[in-house]
Amino acid sequence: MADRDQWIEITMPQLAESLVSATIGKWLKAPGDAVDAYEPICEVITDKVVAEIPATESGIMQELIANEGETVEVGAVICRMKSHELAAVSQAPASSSTANAGEPMSASLSQDTSMRGRFSPAVQKLAQEHGIDLGQLQGTGLGGRITRKDVLQSIEQGGTSAAPVRSEQSRSVPRPAESNIQQSQQAVQSTSSAAMSQVRNSGIHLSETPRLPKIEIESEAHTARGEYLIDVTPIRNSIARNMRQSVSEIPHAWTTIEVDVTNLVQLRNKLKDEFKRKEGINLTYLAFVVKAIVNAIKDYPIMNSVWAVDKIIVKRDINLSLAVGTEDSVLTPVIHKADQKNIAGLAREIEDLARKTREGKLTLNDMTGGTFTVNNTGSFGSILSYPIINYPQAAIVTFESIVKKPVVIDDMIAVRSMANMCLSLDHRILDGVICGRFLQRVKENIESYNLETKLY
């Protein structure tokens, strides 16, 4: 095209200082779609978070350079757009010529199928999910190209052909290979349709049905295998890489301690209703536990450190990472400068980060800078765990389920609310003595809560 050199190039931005590349997770716009300025055009996946890339200005999407699932370096072109002004200028001569030439020119424009055989990844994926035969659709995009709207219109009409009448020229254009689209999807079409009709209410994407894992279709040669294959998502691949790096580079050691949380239970029961009315959020045990851990780190700052081969780097700021699980991943958003917050402030931060994690609204700032990790494994019933350290931090601690137990106090048996706290440590930096003292301090801090403890 003559105006191709004037198209707008959208590049992969540097979302964080240390980011060198990101993976295209999902295209939100297809060629031919109108795009407003700052409207999200795609989702990208980094080691830390899923982020949306906005358009730098308004226009019409022309070409997708990077495919879904492709890792792209920072600064590389991922797509090209045409501004509305350029589109208007390029259409004006065509409109004038059509008016002068009359019916013959109109017919030739409608028969332009130079882009008929080119499909974007978004169009191909949508067609596969719904069993649509792209060869039977009439494209409304530039050069007869099939857009996402064409496929959606065909789905709404309940058929595989959006426009059965086509010109002779479009019939002569070679149709793309369709066997992969038709044959592989017919076997799972009924299952996919049922699953796609249900929208989940938690996880990364609240506004849409989650994409089904790609499952290998069993052919006659594999009917007796009794297994199926699931694609590894970019986020799951990042988790696997980070966990492998942690256990291979960090010599883990593990210790646990039992804490009497009876006073904490009574304190929370006293304050939770008033706190709910005042703040609009739940007052959880985790806020009190986090405060106790932060105060213990102040007394033992070596817990807040990183191994650097010939040095140990002790961090001044206590930035607490919280392990938050979703349906398909585990993320660790960060409470920055947790040592400067009271219990109420920590409760608000915990609620906000957990909500943003479930809704998929975490930013890179929410995911970076952590110096020590806390995992509330008791929330799903665990009473003992062996956590893997959040690389490159020096330690991670878990707070397990609160269980009522008979406990001997002054040679008398009493029923108390007890909970385990488990610590995994980097044995290059930390030893049993310092970690034992640290856990004892955490225990003392938690057991010192009473009915007079203030939240603010």
Q: What is the Cβ-side half-sphere exposure of residue 15, based on CA atoms within 13 angstroms? A: 25
Task: Please provide the DSSP assignment of 256-285 as one string.
Answer: EEEEE-HHHHHHHHHHHHHHHHHHSS---H
Give the span between the Cα atoms of 252 and 435, in whole angstroms.
13
Q: Which amino acid is at 147?
A: T
Q: What value does the CA radius of gyration of the chain take, rounded to a whole number of Å?
A: 29
At residue 11, φ and ψ (nearest 5 deg) are -110, 165
Give the span between the Cα atoms of 11 and 408, in whole angstroms.
66
Residues classed as catalytic: 427, 431
For residue 107, the surrounding DSSP H or E stretch is helix 103-110
Q: Over the range 351-390, which residues count as b (16 or more CB within 10 Å of their CB) and which as e?
A: bebbebbbebbbebebbbebbbbbbbbbeeebeebebbbb
DSSP β-ladder status, 330-331 and 395-399: unpaired
Neighbours of 138 (CB within 10 A): 19
Q: How far is CA 361 from CA 37, 147, 198, in A?
A: 20, 28, 21
Neighbours of 174 (CB within 10 A): 8
Please state the length of the chain: 456
Give the span between the Cα atoms of 412 and 404, in whole angstroms.
16
Give the span between the Cα atoms of 277 and 287, in whole angstroms.
17
Neighbours of 406 (CB within 10 A): 9
Tokens of 212: 């089904």
Q: How far is CA 43 from CA 119, 166, 432, in A?
A: 19, 35, 44
Tokens of 78: 């991922």
Q: Which residues contact 436 (CB under 8 A, 6 or more apart)?
A: 255
